[in-house]
Amino acid sequence: MASSTQGTSNPQADETQPGALEAGRAGAAPPSLLSNLRSLPPNYKWGAGAALVVIIMVVCLAIWGTGMEYPTTVSRTSVDTTGGASIELERTIRQETGSAIDAAVRWLTVEGSWLFDGISTAIIYALVYIENFLKLIPWPAMVVALTLLAFAMGRWSLAAFTALALLYIGFMDLWENAIDTIALMVVAVGVAMSIGLPLGVLGARNRMADNLMRPILDGMQTMPSFVYLLPGILFFGLGKPAGIFATIIYAVPPVIRLTNLGIRQVSAETVEAARSFGASPMQVLTKVQIPMALPTIMAGINQTTMMALAMVTIASMVAAGGLGDNVLRALQKNESGNGAIAGLAIVFLAIVIDRLTQSAARSRQESMGVG
């Protein structure tokens, strides 16, 4: 009985099935040219591309020769001279674009002067208070305090290196400039963290925001560091606010990227378990995702701190002061000895800060039981 049932077929279904197939074939869109090109074997694709390049090269050489240039001229103007002759002046795309950018910057500088002046005043006040506080502490107390801190957070070797590094900076008469550099770093890193941590969280929780920030961060990290000095000078003029502004732009990408990465690396099972217990989105973020992502976030803060120190040194070119000023003066006067002394001071300061921040991150991770 079962075999007869299985062997029988539905004639109506058999009759309608070919019609449905024909209708589906008739309604299907023909393959596009792009899909046909994608379906070609890789060798054919490379061959077609090479043939296209050869055709373009032959045509260009036949028409314009080997001296072909980009068509950058957008306008030509004839100007009469005193001798009765005329000179033809050309305007290129680069000149027009540069003029438009200059006009926009002038407008922004004039219209936003109240904002830039306010930011500059706040930065100067913060730097002055931090510098005065640090300079009130006698240098022996500072050396002993940082040495004990290094010993508590690391090993005796870190404590010994910290003490020797600070004594080197002091005996080389670079203590005041080192304090200026530390004050610049504190302000720049503080602002960079206040900007970078929320943006990293936003990028981890919102795909659109992450897609918008990713190309911007790529450009910020590939741009030469000297370029960041230009907007600082345009908006704030020469001085420490311009150096702080350039340092923030240069140092903020690592903390954004690594905060985003750390939160995304938290397992979905852990997040789902927290939600199943009734945790709100804010509780999931603050009590689950951020604590588990803390090692990665601390690595981002460490990288931001190191990049801030590097940029603060370069910012001496816009009169930001600090240890970079000693290096800049040595370069201007061709004093290799003074340049080497100041450079070593910057290196020692960077190593001490790097080891202390790494030890702080490690101890925080161990106390929370992460990893």
Residues 168-191: what's their mean pLDDT?
89
Q: What is the pTM of this model?
A: 0.74
| 77 CA to centre of own chain | 43
Which pLDDT tens digit goes with each residue over 63-99? 877 777 777 777 777 777 776 677 777 788 888 888 8
pLDDT of residue 117: 85
Q: Which string of DSSP letters, residue by residue, matches 43-104?
A: HHHHHHHHHHHHHHHHHHHHHTGGG-----EEEEEEEE-TTS-EEEEEEEHHHHHHHHHHHH
Q: How many other CB atoms are found less than 10 A from the CB of residue 308?
A: 28
Per-residue pLDDT at 371 exceeds 80: no
In contact, 120 and 236? CB cutoff 8 Å = yes
Average pLDDT, the chain: 81
Residue type, 110: V
pLDDT band at 369 (very low <50, low <70, confident <90, very high): low
Return the structure tokens found at 118.
Answer: 């306010």
pLDDT of residue 164: 92
Residue type, 1: M
371 SS3 class:
coil
Residues 337-359: what's their mean pLDDT?
87
Which pLDDT tens digit goes with each residue over 143-162? 899 888 888 876 788 888 88
How many helices and strands, by DSSP H and E, does the chain display?
Answer: 17, 2
User: CA angle, corner 91, sides to 87 and 94, nearest 5?
Assistant: 150
Please provide residue 112's backbone torsions phi and psi, each rounded to the nearest 5 degrees: -105, 20
How many whole angstroms separate alpha carbon 29 and alpha carbon 40?
19
Please provide residue 319's backbone torsions phi and psi, each rounded to the nearest 5 degrees: 65, 40
Which pLDDT tens digit goes with each residue over 276-334? 888 788 888 888 888 888 888 888 888 888 888 888 888 888 878 888 888 888 888 88
pLDDT band at 33 (very low <50, low <70, confident <90, very high): low
pLDDT of residue 99: 87
